[in-house]
Homo-oligomer: A and B are copies of this chain.
């Protein structure tokens, strides 16, 4: 059986001030009248039944998840006691699914990405499952065909062709590359041999567990301890204990870069990680209307701008390429080209002890 594991532990700081520690990006309605998390779940229909969809996130977000995903069985939400990057979360979910179904295949998905072509995405999931059922050792990742020399993503170098299924090709992964500089990114994009690392993976739960055993034995020990406590009264106590001991490490770094049989399907499905306000603007704007505006607005000579408001009237004159995001307690104004610098603002807030705004 195929299960989805949605990783909803991200903090989405780059979409501050909408995205906040107590209600990060994935819980916000940024691209439609559903939140990114709701979209992520809906996008799996009909490929994966809601009963087979699991969410792992910080326990403080449990109420928001229950509120947004009414149809999800309560036990399908797994509360992380601490944020420890993606490897521990993947491991814990693999244990749970493997215990439930030793043949379980799992697709790991970020909760806060956008995909315009859901049909294509679901088709690729089907192909991915086919591949890992045939070759149980395989770890498969969905790579995104790059559309620009983005320096904010990791890249995957494509190796030899592994298989062709219908019109889609699966390749061996030659290497994982850290975020490149602009020059290197340009080379990557024009070479047609690199795809973006989307953080979407498909594998058998048993396979990824044996990879932990080989490549991340410290984490594996904790996973085994957790497995023994599964269903017992002390389960959550043990989970907390092993989490405290887990290193904070990504699944890419812990496993993917080390494993032997890593495959990639280059995907072209209208993907965006919505990694900045600028990216959201690019996603939502159209040829006819360069402004993207929500809420009450009145403008004179206002172009190419993202203006996210609410009840209050936002009045603009002579704005071009600007981002304006209004919330109850914070207002952000910056040029589109500076929307990556929000990190600096947040650092400043921490320095000034204004953490209530984070």
Contacts and interface: CB of A to CB of B under 8 A. Distances in A.
Contacts of A341: 300-301, 317-318
Interface string A323-341: 0101011111111011101
A315 B298 contact: no
A318 B334 contact: yes
Nearest to A305: B333
Contacts of A339: 317
B317 A345 contact: yes
A331 B312 contact: yes
A263 B352 CA distance: 57
Contacts of A332: 315-317
Contacts of A301: 338, 341
A318 B298 contact: no
Interface in A286-335: 298, 300-301, 309, 311-319, 322, 324, 326, 328-335
A315 to B, nearest CB: 5
A163 interface: no
Interface string A96-123: 0000000000000000000000000000
Contacts of A319: 333-335
B298 A317 contact: no
A337 B319 CA distance: 11
A338 B345 CA distance: 27
Contacts of A309: 331
A354 interface: yes
Nearest to A339: B317
A284 interface: no
Contact of A313 (B314, B317, B354): B354
Given A315-B331, A317-B333, A317-B335, 12 more contacts: A298-B345, A298-B349, A300-B341, A309-B331, A313-B357, A314-B330, A315-B332, A315-B345, A317-B341, A319-B333, A319-B334, A319-B335
Interface of A: 17, 298, 300-301, 309, 311-319, 322, 324, 326, 328-335, 337-339, 341-342, 344-345, 348-349, 352, 354, 357
